Every structure is written in structure tokens, then in C-alpha cells.
Copies of this chain bind each other. A is one copy, B any other.
Amino acid sequence: MGLTKADLFTPEQNELACLAKAFAHPARVAIIEHLLKSNRCINGDLVNELGLAQATISQHLKELKNIGLIQGNIEGVSMSYCINTKKWNSVQQLFNTMFDRITNCGIDDCC
């Protein structure tokens, strides 16, 4: 059916999945990396940098903004996007909480 049955899972599981989606496309990873590098950048940079159409990049930016990972400011005619550091840090923490939940059984290949 292609419809994720969100009601079967906990809010935390849905939240983590939603955040992971931000990184689940190379274009968005590239956008994020560009924002990390420049700390401040305008949309136009991205259209030149990546080989995607302006509409496509605008769409990816919108998704990242909806999730809250980035924020945008109008700067005259152009847009200034940057990472939302507060959200960024909380996402890192959330991922690490999961990553750290591993308990090695001792044997390298336990099964």
C-alpha cells in the first residue's frame, strides 16, 4: 500500500524515522554539508554547486526547514539558509542515545 502505519509505532520511533529522512537523500546531505561548510549561504550557491534544478533544491530546502534542521532568512532578493544549531545538537543527541544502546554480547559475531 505504500502507506506507513505510523499508529503502530511509538512517537519516538516515528520522530527518529522522520529525522533520519532528512539525511536519507544525497542531495539533502550535500545541502547540509554545504551549509556546514559555509555556515551561512544563499540558495543560489546551491543551484550552482549541485547539478539539480532550482525547483528541486527549493523543495529539498523546504523539507529540511519543515523538519527544523535548517532555517532561512530573507536577505533582499536572495535567501540566507543556515543550520539550526539547537535542533542540530538535539538530533545528534537523539541518534547517539540510540547508537549507545548497543550491548556487545562479547563475541564478535554473536549470531
> Known contacts A21-B24, A96-B96; is A5 also within 8 Å of B51 by CB?
yes
* Per-residue B-contact encoding for A73-111, CB less than 8 Å = 1, 0 else: 101000011110110110110011011111111001111
Say whether, besides A4-B25, A26-B6, A109 and B17 are in contact (CB < 8 Å): no
> Is A14 part of the contact surface with B, judged by Cβ < 8 Å?
yes
Q: Does A39 contact B (CB under 8 A)?
A: yes
A111 B73 Cβ-Cβ under 8 A: yes
Contacts of A20 in B (CB 8 A): 20-24, 29
What band does the interface of chain A fall in when counting residues whose beta carbon is under 8 Å from B? 35 or more
A99 and B88 in contact (CB under 8 A), knowing A4-B26, A8-B51, A9-B29? yes
Q: A8-B27, A16-B26, A20-B29 are in contact. List 17 more A-B contacts (CB 8 A).
A: A8-B50, A8-B52, A16-B29, A17-B28, A20-B23, A20-B24, A36-B98, A40-B111, A71-B109, A72-B111, A75-B111, A80-B111, A81-B111, A82-B105, A86-B108, A88-B99, A92-B100
